[in-house]
């Protein structure tokens, strides 16, 4: 059930539809209570329109009781949330604003990160920061987040700052890399990766970047190898070869290089034999 919810939550179309539905529901509720739209907007934070849909907090005997955010609550908040890998700086700012505004508990943070962080990156992060499987100890009276929870939050943010860079990838400089004479394919490949990491500012290669990197790798090979590898891939019906894993393309390149060297060696032996 939870996995199904995650699939729905990550659909932009559903986000927009639910956001509009909740907005219409809020207007209808205010109208029934006699509240004007202006008075409802005045309660919202000026920093972001998403904060208009904060969940209710109940009070018992004057004591604030923290009600953990539900999937629906955070869905409303994250309707216009910036994507971590595309706009990391905006993502950090929005997340920090969220945490300070609601004073998130562990359950809030856990649900929030499951929605706003790509699944593969969140799984890697949980392992990297030893994210707890259940809520750490906190003040049961006030419901305030404990220092331990905030320590985990800062660990998560630091982890993402190391993994996700705000630097722009300079493809023009990366595209200048090519296989020089007498340089092995593996050495050229390692150099290309090193140049990419330097001019992209990230260790992890996104899918769209990997496709470009595969294309650049093949284009940068010595002409005879590059032409042969493309011909071999097309011959094997690998039309969209740019989308193939880099390791598979690397094996094709090595095969083509060995075949070319073998032909050159045989041709040289034949020339020497004819001369004799």
Instruction: Please indicate, yes or no, whether residues 92 and 111 belong to a single structural domain of this protein.
Output: yes
CATH number of the domain to which 37 belongs: 1.10.375
Instruction: Please indicate, yes or no, whether residues 185 and 110 belong to a single structural domain of this protein.
Output: no
Backbone Cα Rg of the chain:
28
- Give CA–CA dist 85/168, Å, rounded: 11
Picking from 104, 138, 163, the residue at the C-terminal end of a domain is 163
Counting DSSP H helices and E strands in the chain, the numbers are: 13, 2
Write down the mean pLDDT value for the chain. 71
Instruction: Please indicate, yes or no, whether residues 20 and 108 belong to a single structural domain of this protein.
Output: yes
Average pLDDT score over residue span 28-52: 42
Instruction: Please indicate, yes or no, whether residues 156 and 55 belong to a single structural domain of this protein.
Output: yes
Instruction: Please indicate, yes or no, whether residues 159 and 176 belong to a single structural domain of this protein.
Output: no
Instruction: Please indicate, yes or no, whether residues 54 and 181 belong to a single structural domain of this protein.
Output: no
- Between 58 and 136, where is the model more confident? 136
Whole-angstrom CA distances from 90 to 80, 183, 260 are 11, 42, 50
The mean-pLDDT minimum among 45-59, 77-91, 250-264 falls in 45-59
Q: What does pTM read for this prediction?
A: 0.41
Instruction: Please indicate, yes or no, whether residues 135 and 183 belong to a single structural domain of this protein.
Output: no
Instruction: Please indicate, yes or no, whether residues 130 and 226 belong to a single structural domain of this protein.
Output: no
Picking from 163, 179, 201, the residue at the C-terminal end of a domain is 163
- Under the banding of pLDDT at 50, 70 and 90, the label for residue 122 is very high
Bridge partners, residue 60, by sequence: 63
Sequence-distant (≥ 6) Cβ neighbours of residue 186 within 8 angstroms: 250, 254
The pLDDT of residue 237? 63
The total number of structural domains that make up the chain: 2
- Under the banding of pLDDT at 50, 70 and 90, the label for residue 239 is low
Average pLDDT score over residue span 189-195: 90
Does residue 236 carry a pLDDT above 80? no
The pLDDT of residue 31? 54
The pLDDT of residue 276? 61
Q: Which of 3-17, 66-80, 239-253 has the highest mean pLDDT?
A: 239-253
Picking from 147, 163, 179, the residue at the C-terminal end of a domain is 163
Instruction: Please indicate, yes or no, whether residues 151 and 245 belong to a single structural domain of this protein.
Output: no
Instruction: Please indicate, yes or no, whether residues 183 and 85 belong to a single structural domain of this protein.
Output: no
Instruction: Please indicate, yes or no, whether residues 144 and 207 belong to a single structural domain of this protein.
Output: no
Q: Which domain holds residue 257?
A: 171-275
- Give CA–CA dist 55/52, Å, rounded: 9
Query: Distance from CA of residue 26 to its chain's centroid?
Result: 33
Instruction: Please indicate, yes or no, whether residues 189 and 92 belong to a single structural domain of this protein.
Output: no
**Residue 85: HSE in the Cβ half-sphere, 13 Å Cα cutoff:** 17
């Amino acid at each position: 059930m939870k996995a199904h919810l995650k699939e729905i939550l990550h659909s932009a179309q559903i986000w927009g539809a639910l956001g509009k539905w909740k907005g219409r529901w809020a207007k209808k509720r205010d109208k029934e209570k006699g509240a004007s739209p202006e008075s409802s907007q005045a309660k919202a934070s000026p920093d972001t329109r998403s904060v208009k849909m904060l969940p209710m907090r109940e009070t018992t005997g004057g004591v604030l009781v923290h009600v953990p955010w539900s999937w629906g609550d955070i869905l409303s908040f994250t309707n216009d949330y910036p994507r971590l890998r595309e706009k990391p700086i905006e993502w950090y700012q929005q997340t920090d604003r969220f945490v300070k505004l609601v004073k998130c508990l562990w359950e809030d943070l856990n649900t929030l990160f499951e929605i706003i962080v790509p699944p593969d990156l969140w799984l890697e992060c949980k392992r990297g920061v030893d994210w707890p499987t259940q809520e750490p100890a906190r003040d049961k009276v006030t419901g305030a987040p404990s220092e331990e929870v905030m320590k985990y939050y800062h660990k998560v943010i630091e982890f993402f700052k190391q993994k996700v860079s705000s630097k722009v990838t300079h493809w023009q400089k990366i595209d200048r890399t090519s296989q020089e004479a007498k340089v092995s394919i593996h050495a050229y490949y390692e150099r290309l990766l090193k140049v990419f990491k330097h001019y992209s500012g990230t260790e992890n290669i996104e899918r769209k970047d990997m496709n470009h990197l595969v294309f650049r790798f093949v284009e940068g090979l010595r002409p005879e190898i590059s032409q042969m590898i493309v011909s071999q891939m097309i011959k094997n019906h690998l039309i969209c070869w740019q989308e193939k894993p880099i390791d598979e393309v690397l094996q094709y390149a090595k095969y083509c290089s060995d075949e070319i060297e073998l032909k050159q060696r045989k041709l040289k032996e034949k020339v020497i034999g004819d001369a004799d």
